[in-house]
Amino acid sequence: MFKFITNKPLWVNITAAIGLILVLVVILFFSLKAITNHGEDAVVPNITGQNVTAAIKTLESKGFKVEIIDSIFIDTLARLSVIKQAPEADVKVKEGRTIYLTINKAVAPEVEMPSLIGYSYKSAELMLQSLNLKMGDTSYRPDFARNSILEQLYNNKTIKEGTKIPMGSTISFVLGSGIGNTEMNVPNLVGLKVSDAIANMQSMHLNVGTIVAYDAISDTLNAFVVEQRPPVYSEPTPGQKVQNKLRSGQVIDLFIKSTPTQTSDTIKNTNQ
């Protein structure tokens, strides 16, 4: 076998070796071309905004592979829609290339509602934006804290701090409109249960101020008002009673006990 090679002149062997190498290079070149689909480019379609199932079918029908790499939530976009694709649309890539997708979550994640009572309207709006919550309707009621948040509502009901709600939910606010112009008589709340006193004040657009307990109380709403400030009457001079006045939006402080205290105001309330 080797005699066939050694019997040939050296230049013949060298020429044959070079020819063999050239043949191997050509074979390798065409093999790589077939393996890598060299020269077979495809344009990436725009599937942003489409439902992820439809988007995957479109990409696979054009010879692409698909991989979902992330999911986030944007409440203004359709659930399970494609938010981002890489490579982007209209880019030329080789067939069989993997297209990476970011999609919108099917279920909105939950956030904890903070307490925005006492915030200004603008501050509350910025806080909602930071939590991806929406600003809803705004209503007003008389209160000395003008343009401050008095109550926060979700689905027309008061929402407490720490309550978990879906991201993108709408929160409405009740704001203070300031003190009213019309004066009214201070209501007599002494002798009433706290719950009844508060209901009475709310019907007159008056606000509860400080509640001070004179003894140990387990249930504040079922305790009794034994004193209020301002009182129903004042005495600028001994024996001279003057009816005190309030405007809507002002406050009355309540002093309470677990049992009612018999006073002239209590007796008056009982006889009314």
Q: Is the pTM of this model over 0.85?
A: no
Q: Where are the alpha helices (DSSP H) in the chain?
A: 2-6, 10-36, 52-61, 121-130, 194-203, 264-271
- The beta strand positions in the chain, using DSSP E, are 41-43, 65-72, 82-86, 92-94, 98-104, 110-112, 134-146, 149-154, 157-158, 164-166, 170-176, 183-185, 207-213, 224-229, 233-237, 240-243, 245-247, 251-257
Fold of 41-104: Trypsin Inhibitor V; Chain A (3.30.10)
Domain with CATH 3.30.10.20 in the chain: 41-104, 110-176, 183-271
Fold of 110-176: Trypsin Inhibitor V; Chain A (3.30.10)
Determine the length of the chain. 272
Beta-bridge partner residues of 214: none
pLDDT at site 10 = 61
pLDDT at site 11 = 60
CA 57, 62, 66, 71 torsion-angle sign: negative
Domain spanning 183-271: CATH 3.50.50.60? no
Best CA proximity match to 118, nearest among 156, 84, 161, 170: 161
Segments of the chain with pLDDT less than 70: 1-13, 16-17, 19, 25-26, 28-40, 262-272
pLDDT at site 2 = 44
- Token readout for 185 is 């008589």
d(CA 18, CA 10): 12
